[in-house]
Amino acid sequence: MPAPFAYRRLVQFADTDMAGIVHFSVFFRYMEEAEHALRRHIGMSIHDRFDPADDRSRIAFPRVSARCDYHSPARCEDELRIEVTVQKLGKSSVTYGFHIFRDEAELAVGEMTSVCCCFRDGVKPRPTPLPDAVLAGLKQFAA
């Protein structure tokens, strides 16, 4: 089984709330940051065109679902390690799994499903098959 992709993130002061811990909604931003780091790792960019000849076309991955189970709080200045695996690959969709650690303590486990879409100006986004290069890159981290 391949190693998961690992993303490291320091908890910042603005991530916390008056309970003294990271606000639960911020874990979803951490997971997205890790997902985007994985995507850059396999050669993708947020600015990727769908159609190389159309500089305003974009490939994007709107969320279908997101969830997180919280085991233990994260605090300011914690050094987090977010491990990402690809749990499921559909024709157009991808489901990522996330495990968020501080050292050996697993603080949270999450999952997000996105659909690969083509965006063009003035046209309603529509699902489109995952490009072959994306598929090959994601498969490296398939659980």
Among 1, 3, 13, 132, binds a second copy (CB under 8 A): 13
Q: Which of residues 81-140 bind a second copy (CB under 8 A)?
A: 119, 121-122
Q: CB-wise, 40 or 139, nearer to a second copy?
A: 40
CB of 116 vs a second copy, minimal distance in Å:
14
List, in order, residues 6 or more apart from 74 with CB less than 8 Å away.
Answer: 11, 21, 22, 27, 80, 100, 102, 107, 108
Among 2, 8, 25, 142, binds a second copy (CB under 8 A): 25
Measured CA angle at 108 (ends 95, 23), to 5 deg: 105
Q: Find where tokens 């908890």 sit.
A: 11
Query: How many angstroms separate the CA atoms of 1 and 137, rounded?
Result: 15
Residues near a second copy, by CB under 8 A: 12-14, 16-21, 23-26, 28-29, 32-33, 36, 40, 45-47, 55-56, 60, 62-70, 73, 75-77, 119, 121-122
